[in-house]
Amino acid sequence: MERSNPGQLSQNEKAVGSARDTSVNGHLLEGVVKVRGRTAGSVGVPAETSAQPSSVMESWKEERTRSVEDNEMSLPSLAAAYNTILRGLGEDPQRQGLLKTPWRAATAMQYFTKGYQEKIIDILNDAIFDEDHDEMVIVKDIDMFSMCEHHLVPIFGKVHIGYLPNKRVLGLSKLARIVEIYSRRLQVQERLTKQIAVAITEALQPAGVGVVVEATHMCMVMRGVQKMNSKTVTSTMLGVFREDPKTRDEFLTLIRS
């Protein structure tokens, strides 16, 4: 989904804030169920929304995965599809420069979406530590490369993650791995943002989590819908990051410093 308004923080907080009275987990579950219900029911769903409910917003523990064997098996049909695309564009797939393009493009697309091959729970094993640390943990400027699910062109930008531990911390590199797994799928920026926050919450049960994603959508930039340098900013604030303005402000200040 594309929005050109960079000042989206308050809008997202409002969307997230509908379950203010429930616990962090209760709130999260509600969010997940809601999205599931919407994608599962076909009535009234805009044509652009995903037709594959199982691929979106699953709980991190029950993600559908794609295997390396699946890649090998589907490569010929994917390449054939790219061949069709080339013809459809008025190109000649037999000219020299394009001879291997369908295979290259199919292989590249599998790589761009390799997040389907991985499960969050696998990377978290052995990476969660009991620790009495109760100060905010922030990892900012995590590089993110994803694919817009509406146009199949890149979304890229930075992800900033903060959380307030509650006796459990996560190996720092794993935050970037969570970003990698969710971003290497067909995405909309809002869902990517929320999935990262949900995964961290479910893994660590922290006092709170904040995730901010700043991204450029090539489908907007290349089609001239918005100016070259504008970015879309989305955020998900959970627990004390949502309930306590001071905590949220500290996070937002630190990721901008």
Catalytic residue among 110, 187, 189, 195: 189
Nearer to Zn ion, 2 or 58 (CB): 2
Catalytic residue among 58, 151, 205, 250: 151
> SS3 of 215, please?
strand
- In DSSP notation, 72-85 reads HHHHHHHHHHHHHH
Nearer to Zn ion, 95 or 223 (CB): 223
Confirm or reject binding of residue 147 to Zn ion (CB under 5 A).
Answer: no
- CB-based contacts of 236: which residues, under 8 Å, 6+ apart? 12, 16, 193, 194, 196, 197, 209, 210, 211
How big is the site for Zn ion, counted in residues (CB under 5 A)?
4
CB of 225 to Zn ion, least distance (A): 9
Active site residue 13: no
User: Residue 22 and residue 32: Cα distance in Å, rounded?
Assistant: 14
For the segment 9-68, give every residue that binds Zn ion (CB under 5 A).
none
Confirm or reject binding of residue 151 to Zn ion (CB under 5 A).
Answer: yes
CB of 231 to Zn ion, least distance (A): 14
- CB-based contacts of 127: which residues, under 8 Å, 6+ apart? 170, 171, 174
Confirm or reject binding of residue 219 to Zn ion (CB under 5 A).
Answer: yes
126: left (phi over 0), alpha (psi -120 to 50) or beta: left
Judge whether 241 and 248 are in contact, CB under 8 Å.
yes
CB of 71 to Zn ion, least distance (A): 24
Active site residue 151: yes
C-alpha atoms less than 13 angstroms from C-alpha of 86 in its C-beta half-sphere: 21
Confirm or reject binding of residue 218 to Zn ion (CB under 5 A).
Answer: no
Confirm or reject binding of residue 150 to Zn ion (CB under 5 A).
Answer: yes
Confirm or reject binding of residue 119 to Zn ion (CB under 5 A).
Answer: no
Single residue of 24, 78, 148, 196 touching Zn ion by CB under 5 A: 148
Residues in contact with Zn ion by the rule CB under 5 A:
148, 150-151, 219
Catalytic center residues: 148-151, 189, 217, 219
